[in-house]
Every structure is written in structure tokens, then in C-alpha cells.
């Protein structure tokens, strides 16, 4: 972008409605090659343009540039040593809300943590500690299961769940998990078939938590009964903590299902590309 003047950029954009498909493709490729830094310029051009064809071309270009940036961020996140869960959820969130800042999401999550922390006591037994978290998240803050719009794409967008206080099993578990881990509790995600839950797992005690059902505490035997009821074989990963990569992969699969149900096939294909970045050389996810 630095080697093109504003006048040259203007000239490029004005060629977006050229009737010659080859010219148009060349212009698109040139603009794409300038990278995400050109997005603010394109958005400004969209606002000042009175040509609906050019506006449509700009919208598609901006989406392609934002999507390319998202894939890059996701790939970098996967290679990062800690694979921070909140960062991964923010990157996924930018698919629907490209202008969302990480700091905004982080501040909202910190407020929830603060609300729980002020009521929390470290000297309580694990079950009592979990009951305090449940009381704040599901009682005071009124987070709940989005049973009415279970397959809405918004359920996979953390910013949306924080705003509406409604989510699916994995988004509610993610909020719970981020808060519990910040409090220093050994709480992790567990990838069950058709349901995502949490486990409190220390060397002394182990039990499970269903955030989709207001933090209901249950046992390993309950999981066994659940799997038997579904006629699914008992696999170790149905009882053990999963990784942050597993959580992001599962969130992406949920998003694919949501877009499939809405018939938004282009979005299904794009989310599939994101999933491929995550599960590449991680076949177990």
C-alpha cells in the first residue's frame, strides 16, 4: 500500500465495475495483494461511492481481505505455545464481527471474573466453590441456555453470548472455564458426543459440570449412563479434559451446522477452511 498514492488507489477502485472481466479480476488481485491495511481506505470509498456495482465489489473485497486476515491469525494462534482460549474465541468471533477488538472482549470477561471473585472463597470445598460460581453466573448474571434458537450462529460468537446472556453448551462452558481457571481452579472442557461439559479434576477429587444446565454437578457414572443411552462406545476422551484446540474446533463445527441450517453455503465453506487450519496435523480433534 505504501508504494501507491491515494490517486492511484482511487483509479484502481474506479476500475472495479469495468465490463471486461479480465481487467476487473486483475484489479481485484492487485487490491487483494495490498493486504488488510487497505481495508479502511476501501470502507471510505464505499461510503462516498454512488455506484451500487462498485459498492458490491468493495464489500466482497473487504470480506475477502478480512477473511484472509482471520485465517492468518488463526494459523498464528495454532502455532502459539499457549493457545490462549480467549484469543482463539476472539479470532473466531471476528468472522461475524470483523471490527471487534480483543480488548473489548477481554474487558467484558474480566468484569464477569470480578463479579465471581468478589463472592469467592479459596478455603471452601470444591463443590461449594462451584456452587458460588453457579450462583453468580446463572443467578446474579442470568446466563442461560439458548434453547429457543439453539442453532443460531450467534451462540458461537462470544461477544453475542456476553451481550444476550444466552449461549449453547460450548460457549457457556467457555465463559465458565475462563472464569474458573482465572480463579486457579482445575476446571477443563470435556468433549462429549452432542454435548460439551466441564470437569473439575484435581488429584483428590473429580466431578463434572453441565454449564448448559445452570452448572449442574454430575458424576462419571452419569456420563456412562448417557453414552449407554445413546448406544455410543466409551472412549477415554469422553471422560478426560480436552485442549483449547478441541474447543475452537468444536465451536467451528457448531458454526458450520448453524450456517447449514440457514442455507448459507458460502459461509459453511469458509468455516470449513477455518476448521481445516485448526485440525491440520491434529486429526484427533
- pLDDT for 1 equals 43
Three-state secondary structure along 201-260?
A: ECCCCEEEEEHHHCCEEECHHHHHHHHHHCCCCCCHHHCCCCCHHHHHHHHHHHHHHHHH
Residue 179's pLDDT is what?
A: 98
Grid coordinates given for 166: 444466552
C-alpha pair distances (Å), 130 with each of 158, 181, 198, 209, 218: 22, 12, 11, 9, 12
> Which residue is listed with cell 472481466?
21
Predicted pLDDT at 33: 77
DSSP string spanning 45-57?
A: HHHH---HHHHHH
HSE, CB side, 13 Å, CA atoms: give it for residue 101. Answer: 4
Helix axes 244-262, 169-182, angle to 10 degrees: 150
pTM for this one?
Answer: 0.86
Q: 104 by DSSP, 3-state: which?
A: helix
The whole-angstrom separation of Cα 61 and Cα 63 is 5
Distance of alpha carbon 186 from alpha carbon 62, whole angstroms: 42
Distance of CA 52 to the CA centre of its chain: 32
Residues in the chain predicted with pLDDT less than 50, given as ranges, are 1-2, 283
pLDDT of 258 reads 95
Amino acid at each position: 500500500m505504501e508504494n501507491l498514492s491515494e490517486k492511484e488507489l482511487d483509479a484502481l477502485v474506479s476500475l472495479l465495475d469495468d465490463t471486461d472481466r479480465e481487467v476487473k479480476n486483475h484489479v481485484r488481485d492487485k487490491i487483494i495483494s495490498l493486504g488488510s491495511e487497505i481495508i479502511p481506505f476501501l470502507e471510505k470509498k464505499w461510503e462516498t461511492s454512488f455506484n451500487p456495482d462498485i459498492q458490491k465489489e468493495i464489500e466482497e473485497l473487504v470480506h475477502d481481505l478480512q477473511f484472509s486476515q482471520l485465517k492468518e491469525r488463526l494459523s498464528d494462534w495454532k502455532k502459539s505455545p499457549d493457545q490462549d482460549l480467549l484469543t482463539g474465541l476472539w479470532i473466531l468471533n471476528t468472522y461475524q464481527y470483523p471490527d471487534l477488538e480483543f480488548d473489548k472482549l477481554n474487558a467484558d470477561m474480566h468484569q464477569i471474573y470480578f463479579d465471581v471473585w468478589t463472592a469467592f472463597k479459596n478455603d471452601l470445598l470444591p463443590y461449594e466453590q462451584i456452587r458460588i460460581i453457579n450462583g453468580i453466573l446463572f443467578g446474579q448474571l442470568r446466563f442461560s441456555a439458548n434453547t429457543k434458537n439453539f442453532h443460531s450462529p450467534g451462540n458461537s460468537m462470544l461477544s453475542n453470548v456476553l451481550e444476550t446472556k444466552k449461549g449453547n453448551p460450548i460457549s457457556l462452558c467457555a465463559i465458565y472455564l475462563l472464569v474458573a481457571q482465572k480463579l486457579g481452579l482445575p476446571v477443563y472442557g470435556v468433549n462429549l458426543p452432542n454435548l460439551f461439559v466441564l470437569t473439575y479434576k484435581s488429584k483428590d477429587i473429580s466431578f463434572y459440570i453441565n454449564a448448559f444446565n445452570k452448572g449442574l454437578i454430575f458424576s462419571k457414572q452419569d456420563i456412562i449412563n448417557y453414552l449407554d443411552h445413546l448406544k455410543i462406545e466409551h472412549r477415554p476422551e469422553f471422560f478426560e479434559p480436552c485442549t483449547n484446540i478441541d474447543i475452537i474446533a468444536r465451536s467451528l463445527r457448531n458454526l458450520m451446522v448453524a450456517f447449514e441450517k440457514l442455507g448459507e453455503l458460502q459461509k459453511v465453506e469458509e468455516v470449513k477452511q477455518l476448521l481445516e487450519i485448526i485440525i491440520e496435523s491434529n486429526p484427533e480433534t
